Amino acid sequence: MFDATHVFGAVLKCLDCAEAWPCPGYQDLVCSVFDDDMDLVAEFMRFFLPDANRVLGGLSQGAVQERVVGWCEKRRLRPAALGPPRPPAGALLTARSSRSLVAAKGAA
Protein backbone atom coordinates (compact mmCIF):
# COMPACT_ATOMS: atom_id res chain seq x y z
CA MET A 1 0.00 0.00 0.00
CA PHE A 2 1.24 3.48 -0.82
CA ASP A 3 0.55 6.21 1.71
CA ALA A 4 0.59 9.96 1.18
CA THR A 5 3.76 10.81 3.05
CA HIS A 6 6.69 12.71 1.63
CA VAL A 7 4.63 14.33 -1.15
CA PHE A 8 5.81 17.54 -2.80
CA GLY A 9 4.51 21.07 -2.48
CA ALA A 10 4.49 23.99 -4.92
CA VAL A 11 8.30 24.44 -4.95
CA LEU A 12 9.05 20.72 -5.11
CA LYS A 13 9.99 20.43 -1.46
CA CYS A 14 8.78 17.58 0.69
CA LEU A 15 5.84 18.64 2.84
CA ASP A 16 6.97 16.29 5.63
CA CYS A 17 10.71 16.96 5.91
CA ALA A 18 11.15 20.16 3.80
CA GLU A 19 14.00 18.64 1.77
CA ALA A 20 14.18 18.88 -2.00
CA TRP A 21 11.74 16.37 -3.48
CA PRO A 22 12.11 13.49 -4.05
CA CYS A 23 13.64 13.44 -0.58
CA PRO A 24 15.47 10.40 0.82
CA GLY A 25 12.34 9.39 2.78
CA TYR A 26 10.25 9.34 -0.38
CA GLN A 27 12.98 7.52 -2.28
CA ASP A 28 13.08 4.82 0.40
CA LEU A 29 9.30 4.58 0.39
CA VAL A 30 9.07 4.19 -3.39
CA CYS A 31 11.89 1.65 -3.42
CA SER A 32 10.16 -0.41 -0.74
CA VAL A 33 6.87 -0.35 -2.66
CA PHE A 34 8.64 -1.65 -5.79
CA ASP A 35 10.92 -4.07 -3.90
CA ASP A 36 14.01 -2.10 -4.99
CA ASP A 37 13.32 -2.82 -8.68
CA MET A 38 14.94 0.38 -9.90
CA ASP A 39 13.58 -0.01 -13.44
CA LEU A 40 10.04 0.08 -12.06
CA VAL A 41 10.91 2.91 -9.66
CA ALA A 42 12.32 4.99 -12.54
CA GLU A 43 9.25 4.28 -14.67
CA PHE A 44 6.99 5.37 -11.80
CA MET A 45 9.00 8.52 -11.16
CA ARG A 46 8.77 9.52 -14.84
CA PHE A 47 5.04 10.08 -14.32
CA PHE A 48 5.97 13.11 -12.17
CA LEU A 49 8.05 14.78 -14.90
CA PRO A 50 5.28 16.89 -16.52
CA ASP A 51 4.26 18.40 -13.17
CA ALA A 52 7.87 18.83 -12.07
CA ASN A 53 8.73 20.60 -15.34
CA ARG A 54 5.81 22.94 -14.81
CA VAL A 55 6.72 23.67 -11.17
CA LEU A 56 10.45 24.01 -11.84
CA GLY A 57 10.03 26.02 -15.04
CA GLY A 58 13.34 27.83 -14.49
CA LEU A 59 15.31 24.59 -14.88
CA SER A 60 16.04 22.77 -18.11
CA GLN A 61 14.11 19.57 -18.78
CA GLY A 62 17.36 17.65 -18.36
CA ALA A 63 17.94 19.17 -14.92
CA VAL A 64 14.38 18.34 -13.85
CA GLN A 65 14.73 14.78 -15.13
CA GLU A 66 18.02 14.41 -13.24
CA ARG A 67 16.34 15.56 -10.04
CA VAL A 68 13.16 13.50 -10.34
CA VAL A 69 14.50 10.32 -11.98
CA GLY A 70 18.30 10.58 -11.85
CA TRP A 71 18.53 9.37 -8.27
CA CYS A 72 17.23 5.97 -9.42
CA GLU A 73 20.36 5.23 -11.44
CA LYS A 74 22.58 6.60 -8.68
CA ARG A 75 20.89 4.33 -6.16
CA ARG A 76 21.26 1.36 -8.49
CA LEU A 77 24.99 2.09 -8.80
CA ARG A 78 25.62 3.13 -5.20
CA PRO A 79 29.05 2.35 -3.83
CA ALA A 80 29.57 -0.90 -1.99
CA ALA A 81 30.31 1.12 1.16
CA LEU A 82 26.61 1.96 1.33
CA GLY A 83 25.77 -1.71 1.22
CA PRO A 84 23.58 -3.67 -1.15
CA PRO A 85 19.94 -2.82 -1.72
CA ARG A 86 17.65 -4.24 0.94
CA PRO A 87 16.65 -7.83 0.25
CA PRO A 88 12.95 -8.64 -0.04
CA ALA A 89 11.11 -8.88 3.28
CA GLY A 90 10.82 -12.66 2.99
CA ALA A 91 14.60 -13.00 2.77
CA LEU A 92 15.02 -10.97 5.95
CA LEU A 93 12.59 -13.21 7.78
CA THR A 94 14.38 -16.30 6.51
CA ALA A 95 17.74 -14.99 7.67
CA ARG A 96 16.34 -14.08 11.08
CA SER A 97 14.62 -17.46 11.36
CA SER A 98 17.86 -19.25 10.51
CA ARG A 99 19.83 -17.31 13.15
CA SER A 100 17.14 -17.97 15.73
CA LEU A 101 17.12 -21.66 14.89
CA VAL A 102 20.91 -21.90 15.15
CA ALA A 103 20.86 -20.00 18.48
CA ALA A 104 18.11 -22.27 19.82
CA LYS A 105 20.03 -25.43 18.84
CA GLY A 106 23.18 -24.08 20.51
CA ALA A 107 21.27 -23.43 23.74
CA ALA A 108 19.75 -26.91 23.81
User: pLDDT tens for residues 20-52?
Assistant: 889 888 999 999 899 889 999 999 999 999 988
Radius of gyration, alpha carbons of the chain: 18
Q: What is the pTM of this model?
A: 0.61
The answer to whether position 5 is within a domain reads no
**Domain tally, the chain:** 1
Looking at the domain assignment, is residue 10 inside a domain? no
Residue 93 confidence (pLDDT):
41
- Domain membership flag for residue 15: no
For the segment 61-75, what is each residue's pLDDT rounded down to a tens digit? 999 999 999 999 888
Q: Evaluate whether residue 37 is within a structural domain.
A: yes
Residue 7 is assigned to a structural domain of this protein = no
2 within domain boundaries:
no
Say if 90 falls within a structural domain. Answer: yes
Would 48 be classed as within a structural domain?
yes
d(CA 84, CA 75): 10
Give residue 75's domain range.
24-107
